[in-house]
Amino acid sequence: MSELSRLSVTQLAAAVTERRVSAIEVTRAALERIAQHDADIHAYLYVDREGALAAAAQLDRLLAAGDVSLPLAGVPIGIKDNLCTRGVRTTCASRILEGYIPPYDAHVVERLRAAGAIIIGKLNLDEFAMGSSNENSAFGPVRNPWDKTRTPGGSSGGSAAAASLALAAATLGSDTGGSVRQPGSYCGVTAIKPTYGRVSRYGLIAFASSLDQVGPLARNMRDAARLLGVIAGRDARDATSVDRPVPDYEAECGRELRGMRVGVVKGIADGCDASVKQALALAIERIAALGCEIVEVELPHQRYALSVYYIVANAEASSNLARFDGMRYGLRVTGEDLRATYQKSRAQGFGAEVKRRIMLGTYVLSAGYYDALYLKAQRVRTLIQQDYARAFERCDVLLTPTAPTPAFRLGEKLADPMAMYMQDIFTLPPSLAGIPAVSVPCGLSPEGLPLGLQVCAPAFEEARLVRVGQAFEAVSGFRPEPPGF
């Protein structure tokens, strides 16, 4: 049974479609594996045992009734707990939403279900997706399967850890400034942050609306590509989702890279952990050896990304999180009057990091600071976008490390928010530019911790990410399986 859980997404879908194994069997195996391994990891906030078994039974009946071909038939998928699931608790790892049950499915969840996927449970995260270590979860952090004293990264730490240890065939996370890529790097899984507008945000509980994107995390590029193909595409309910055809991402697997121009930024990894520097150099070498031309490009405004991000994202967050006020749903702590009820509910409902960001965001939008901070940040954001536009005139994809270090120890950076924020310096700029990026496992540090290579492409060129990522995966021969896998 456990063998079943270690199969890839594409293998499982084929086996279930060809009825070599039933969806129920696959689901039972996944539930069993979660029961066996997750107590140590705490990737799941909720395992929807009954819902998953019912969905699997229904799928089996459908498959028995006729010739049905579904891209994710019977594939157990874990969902980050900031994505709404109809009738299943959705908390954003926050006390303020404890016990909240959405009346509708997020668009991506609808898509997964329609593709035959079995939603196995809800995955842990930093509260409201704010954080880089998963330590901001109100329900306790996730532990990194590679070293349980370390962080899985964040905010999609549960999604990365679960994918890494095969506690689901693959998972969905959300990425605002690196929240699928950085944990992907820390846990040794492939994590795609699609172009802003490629995937509908409908039903994703907003952190920063102009940055948030849902993305897949999987143990190989082909699996991630298949999930992306399922969730991508226009949804009228999200005005920012874009109406463009969704290419066959999987078809990019196995294609040659010969002739591609690959951009690198000189000195980008200076100041990173030595293992990160080394892994990047080796990755560039391997990709060059596949017949690519390595081109040096410049991203002069990248150094402002952190400041810009924490102004824009927090401004939006301060407004997005205003609705959690104890009036309609979630935690209510009654005070002597309306104002006191607001204050008490929010004071007790939100954790420290969420409060910090709401306060920062409120500040940058206030009269007198709006122009100097928010508007200026938006202008610099445009400059960052232009940097990429210029760089992509000279190259087809761009390589950087995903994170400056391998996974750090739990508790290590809790006292120093700036040090924590620095974990995102490579993932923030593509987010601000709205372009797609993937983190692909690219080796282990001397301590045996996974490292990630970030590949960026121009908007809506996810196909290039799949092509380069999969070719690199094939040539590196690296199978990122955590101890005890």
Partner 1 sequence: MASAYETVIGLEVHAQLLTRSKLFCGCSTEFGAAPNSHVCQVCLGLPGSLPQLNGRAVELAMRAALALGCSVTERSVFARKNYFYPDLAKNYQISQYELPMNVRGQLAIEVDGRERVVGITRIHLEEDAAKNLHGAGSGHFTLVDYNRAGTPLMEIVSEPDLRSAAEAEEYLKRLREILLFIGVNDGNLEEGSFRCDANVSIRPLGQKEFGTRVELKNINSFRFVRKAIEFEVARQIALVAGGGKVVQETRTWSEAQSKTLPMRSKEDAMDYRYFPDPDLLDLVIDRSQVDAVRAVLPELPLHKRARYVAELGVTAADAQVLTQHPEVARFYEALVDALADRDPKQRAVWGKRAANFVQAELLRHVQLDGARAEFGVTPERIAQLLRLVESGAISGKQAKSVFSSMLSTGKSAETLVQEQGLMQVSDTAAIEAAAREVLARNQENVQAYRAGKTNVLGFFVGQVMRAMQGAGNPKLVNDTLQKLLREES
**Would you say 242 and 436 are in contact if contact means Cβ atoms under 8 Å apart?**
no
Q: Pick the closest to residue 186 from 450, 458, 460, 481 (CA basis).
A: 450
Q: In this complex, which beta carbon is closest to partner 1, that of residue 210 or of residue 307?
A: 210
For partner 1, what does the binding mask look like between residues 75 and 104, x meaning CB under 8 A? --------xx-----x-x----x--x-xxx
- For the chain, give me the number of helices (H) and strands (E)? 16, 11
Count CA atoms within 13 Å of residue 54 on its CB side. 4
Q: In this complex, which beta carbon is closest to partner 1, that of residue 3 or of residue 337?
A: 337
In the list 39, 65, 239, 418, the residue contacting partner 1 (rule: CB under 8 A) is 239
**What is the closest distance, in whole angstroms, from the C-beta atom of residue 78 to partner 1 in the complex?**
18
The reply on whether position 459 binds partner 1 by CB under 8 A is no
The CA angle 331-334-340, to the nearest 5 degrees, is 110
Active-site positions read 80, 155, 179
In the list 11, 278, 362, 385, the residue contacting partner 1 (rule: CB under 8 A) is 362
DSSP output for 188-223: T-EEEEPPTTTB--TTBPPS-TTT-EEEEEESSHHH
113 to 172, contacts with partner 1 by CB under 8 A?
none
The reply on whether position 328 binds partner 1 by CB under 8 A is yes
In the list 64, 251, 274, 338, the residue contacting partner 1 (rule: CB under 8 A) is 338
For partner 1, what does the binding mask look like between residues 199 and 228, x meaning CB under 8 A? --xxxxxx-xxx------------------
**What is the closest distance, in whole angstroms, from the C-beta atom of residue 41 to partner 1 in the complex?**
26
**What is the closest distance, in whole angstroms, from the C-beta atom of residue 101 to partner 1 in the complex?**
11
What b/e readout covers 399-411, taking b as 16+ CB neighbours within 10 angstroms?
bbbbbbbbbbebe
**What is the closest distance, in whole angstroms, from the C-beta atom of residue 236 to partner 1 in the complex?**
6
Size of interface with partner 1, in residues (CB under 8 A): 43
258 to 287, contacts with partner 1 by CB under 8 A?
none
**Would you say 173 and 179 are in contact if contact means Cβ atoms under 8 Å apart?**
yes
**Would you say 257 and 289 are in contact if contact means Cβ atoms under 8 Å apart?**
no
**What is the closest distance, in whole angstroms, from the C-beta atom of residue 190 to partner 1 in the complex?**
26
SS3 441: strand
CA distance 125 to 121: 13
DSSP output for 143-181: -BTTBTTB---SSSHHHHHHHHTTSSSEEEEEESSSTTH
**What is the closest distance, in whole angstroms, from the C-beta atom of residue 42 to partner 1 in the complex?**
23
The CA angle 440-105-165, to the nearest 5 degrees, is 35
Chain CA centroid to CA 320, Å:
20
The reply on whether position 372 binds partner 1 by CB under 8 A is no
Q: Which two tokens mark 242?
A: 């874009």
With the C-alpha atoms ordered 280, 285, 289, 293, is the resulting torsion angle positive or negative? positive
Q: In this complex, which beta carbon is closest to partner 1, that of residue 266 or of residue 339?
A: 339
50 to 79, contacts with partner 1 by CB under 8 A?
none
In the list 14, 21, 246, 329, the residue contacting partner 1 (rule: CB under 8 A) is 329
Cβ neighbour number for residue 370 with a 10 Å cutoff: 13
The reply on whether position 25 binds partner 1 by CB under 8 A is no
Q: In this complex, which beta carbon is closest to partner 1, that of residue 64 or of residue 359?
A: 359
The reply on whether position 315 binds partner 1 by CB under 8 A is yes
Residues engaged in binding partner 1 (CB under 8 A): 83-84, 90, 92, 97, 100, 102-104, 106, 201-206, 208-210, 236-240, 315-316, 318-319, 322-325, 327-329, 338, 342, 362, 365-367, 370, 374
